[in-house]
Amino acid sequence: MKTIVKILCLLTFILSSVSKAGEVNVAVAANFAAPAEQIAIAFQQDTGHKAVISIGSSGKFYTQIKYGAPFQVLLSADDETPARLDKEGDTVLGTRFTYATGRLVLWSKKKGIVDDKGEVLRNGTFDRIAIADPKLAPYGFAAIQTLTKLGIDKQVTQKAVWGENIGQTFLFVDTQSTALGFVALSQVIMENRLKTGSAWIVPETLHSPLKQDAVLLSSGKDNSAAHAFLKFLKSNKAQEIIKAFGYQI
């Protein structure tokens, strides 16, 4: 009889936990795709809540949110897009914070293409270079800032292949559709791509800080999973994942 009671109590606890578990739709900037997927797994293991990750450009997410896309949380590639949504009344005020600061890198899948000072940009010994659309992707904007500060923006952009977001831009370089490209450091840290290719980590003095902000959207105000996800994003476990991909906290 005691065994049956214990089983019933255990079942009641499990059913209660399941009933409390929720789901949150998270719009995630393409540069943060890999860490976001790992964070989502850890989040579900720790809380029971499920985070459904959608990957894209921050600029497009802004438009989709304005048109009522069913996202409750935004993890942007910049701090301007969440701030703008804040001002326009599309967020829960007081929930915005910087969850990571990214790094820009000029990368080629082949060794010997990119030198450690980025001089390849000046000598022009490449056919095409991948750059994310600066109007949509903060990493693309940072790339243009870098080229402008170096005084070579016109000559380099003549060879540019424009990616819709940093994910597509990375794909251009990874498939060798372009010889090199400006991508996020987090993307090339995976699978030791820094060692198998060639890269120049762009000095932070050449562009604005790549501060990436998270925010709770208005549609997530009463969503317990959305609140829990943002709280988990600040946890030590999530921050260790973020740092492992080359981001600064």
Query: Counting beta carbons within 10 angstroms of the beta carbon of residue 127, is it exposed (0 to 12), middle (13 to 18) or buried (19 or more)?
Result: exposed
Confidence at residue 6, expressed as pLDDT on a 0 to 100 scale: 45
Contact between 106 and 180 (Cβ < 8 Å): yes
Q: 169: domain range?
A: 104-201
- Domain shared by 129 and 89, yes or no: no
Mean pLDDT across 39-61: 96
At 159, give phi and psi (nearest 5°): -105, 10
Q: Are residues 215 and 96 in the same domain?
A: yes
Q: 119 and 153: one domain?
A: yes
Per-residue pLDDT tens over the stretch 94-130: 999 999 999 999 999 999 999 999 999 999 889 999 9
User: Is residue 141 domain-shared with residue 79, that is, in the same domain?
Assistant: no
Q: What letter would DSSP give residue 96?
A: -
Same domain, 217 and 97: yes
Contact criterion met (CB below 8 Å) for 134 and 210: no
Q: Are residues 150 and 218 in the same domain?
A: no
Q: Which of the pair, 248 or 129, is modelled with greater confidence?
A: 129
Q: Cα separation of 239 and 78, whole Å? A: 18
Q: Name the strand (E) or helix (H) holding 168.
A: helix 166-174
Q: C-alpha dihedral over 131, 136, 141, 147, to 10 degrees? A: 30
85 and 158 within one domain: no
Number of folded domains that form the chain: 2
Determine the 3-state secondary structure of 143 from DSSP.
helix
Sign, CA dihedral 221-83-242-169, equals positive
Query: Is 225's pLDDT higher than 60?
Result: yes
Q: Establish if 249 belongs to a structural domain.
A: no
Same domain, 110 and 197: yes
Residues 197 and 237 in one domain: no
DSSP secondary structure of 192-226 = GHHHHSEEEE--GGGS--EEEEEEEBGGGTT-HHH
Residue 139 has pLDDT above 50, yes or no: yes
pTM above 0.75, yes or no: yes
Residue 173 counted as domain residue = yes
Same domain, 221 and 145: no
Q: Dihedral sign for Cα 234, 85, 65, 18, please.
A: positive
- Asked if 27 and 146 sit in the same domain, the reply is no
Q: Is residue 206 domain-resident?
A: no
Once rounded to an integer, what is the mean pLDDT over residues 6-31? 65
pLDDT at 92 over 60: yes
Decide if pLDDT at 232 tops 90.
yes
Q: Residues 164-202: pLDDT tens digits?
A: 999 999 999 999 999 999 999 999 987 778 888 999 999
The CATH number covering residue 29 comes to 3.40.190.10
